[in-house]
Amino acid sequence: MYYLGSDGQYFRDRDVRRIDARPRPEGVGETEKWIDVDLGLQSLVAYEGDRPVFVTLISSGRIKNENVEELNHATPTGEFRLTSKHLTHTMDGDNAFDGPYSVDDVPYVMYFQLAYAIHSAFWHDSFGRPKSHGCVNMAPLDARWMFRWAGPHVPRDGTAATRPPRTRTRLFIRGETPHG
């Protein structure tokens, strides 16, 4: 199956993602900022109330295979708030099924639960497919936009922010990560 683009170009259905606007979750204010991550579509949508303001593809955590006994790097699902933001941060781990890793100066890191974060990934371009060790990876320019938009806000002369919960952007992660 093919889709016809507005410019007259055809696209294979496997190369296209349709991302529909989600209803505002209960308890989210009419103008409040919130983020929706759909693991099945490998997408992220930023909202202000009911209005989507930014859409992009992401790479969530990889699941090695369907054997749940094997180590996997699934991205956690549920409702979160961004807890802290760092202009750059070191991301590392030693229990990855593909070996230990350490990446210095990862840009635009926004933690939401323990060591899980939304952040830039300059080391791959596989957005739209699971690739990470559990975090939500974004293309560098997309991560920069999200970092500037989401709260808590980093002071103009600062490199990090942690603020009271009311200033932290809500994050909703849902769906099932495709196996790969």
Q: What is the structure's pLDDT at 155?
A: 80
Separation of CA 61 from chain center: 10
Residues 68-108 have pLDDT tens digits of 555 578 899 999 999 999 999 887 765 555 556 667 789 99
Stretch 115-134: mean pLDDT = 92
Which of 77, 139, 133 is closest to 108 using CA atoms? Answer: 139
Q: What is the structure's pLDDT at 80?
A: 96
Which of 134, 133, 96, 135 is closest to 118 using CA atoms? Answer: 135
The architecture CATH gives domain 23-174: Beta Barrel (2.40)
Residues 9-52 have pLDDT tens digits of 998 888 888 899 999 999 999 999 999 999 999 999 999 999 99
At residue 140 the predicted structure's pLDDT band, cuts being 50, 70 and 90, is very high
Residues 106-118 have pLDDT tens digits of 999 999 999 999 9
Which of 118, 130, 107, 115 is closest to 170 using CA atoms? Answer: 118
Q: What is the structure's pLDDT at 97?
A: 53
Q: Give the whole-angstrom CA distance, residue 101 versus residue 93.
A: 6
The pTM score is 0.87
**Considering Cα of 25, then 47, then 38, then 81, what sign does the dihedral take?**
negative
Averaged confidence pLDDT in the chain = 88
